[in-house]
Amino acid sequence: MGKTYFLDLPTLLEYLRGQSCMLTTVVTISGKSGNGYVFLKDGMVIRCFIRMQDGVQLEGQLAYPYLETSTQWQVQLEPESPAPLQPSLSPESDMVTPPQPSQKPLVQKRMLDPSLLGHLDMRQRLVLRTVLTMVNGQRTARQIREQLNLPPNVVDEVLAYLHSIDVIE
């Protein structure tokens, strides 16, 4: 088992500079509980996500604002990889965990619940809504990436988030 630290995430990351480890915490979003994970490799955040008890998963920039305010962390040095580790977002980074490529058109399954956007800043909400407007049952993820004037990795992250909250398929 690891060690428990009572620090906010930015302070803990500074303390663990140069380490390779897994950080875990409990988060509450809109009254729902979940587990937060941050993976460090040589002191760099390579992946972060939150897995809610209802199965919803937030990754990268969508998860980071909730994680950075948590003040109780379990730290396990040099963990076994839970899955192939992929790059993820810290606030300063543009790297994301890409979704699995899909050749079939994306379809909006239901309306977007505005309460799921409360943790996003205005720019992030605008990007999310811009990507969602491109989902029309005819465009594939690749076509959406090509047609939007946004970095492809940002489009991928938004599509992964929309899929994780069951808005698109």
Average pLDDT taken over every residue of the chain: 80
Does residue 160 belong to any structural domain of this protein?
yes
pTM of the model: 0.48
**Whether 121 and 62 share a structural domain:** no
Q: Give the number of domains in the chain.
A: 2
Q: Answer yes or no: are the C-beta atoms of 31 and 41 closer than 8 Å.
A: no
pLDDT at position 103 is 78
Does residue 60 belong to any structural domain of this protein?
yes
Domain that holds residue 50: 3-77
DSSP label of 112: -
Which among 32, 50, 77 is the end of a domain? 77
Does residue 109 belong to any structural domain of this protein?
no
Does residue 119 belong to any structural domain of this protein?
yes
Q: What pLDDT, in 10s, does the model give residues 40-71?
A: 888 888 889 998 888 888 888 889 999 998 99
Closest C-alpha to 134, from 149, 144, 145? 144
Which among 22, 53, 77 is the end of a domain? 77
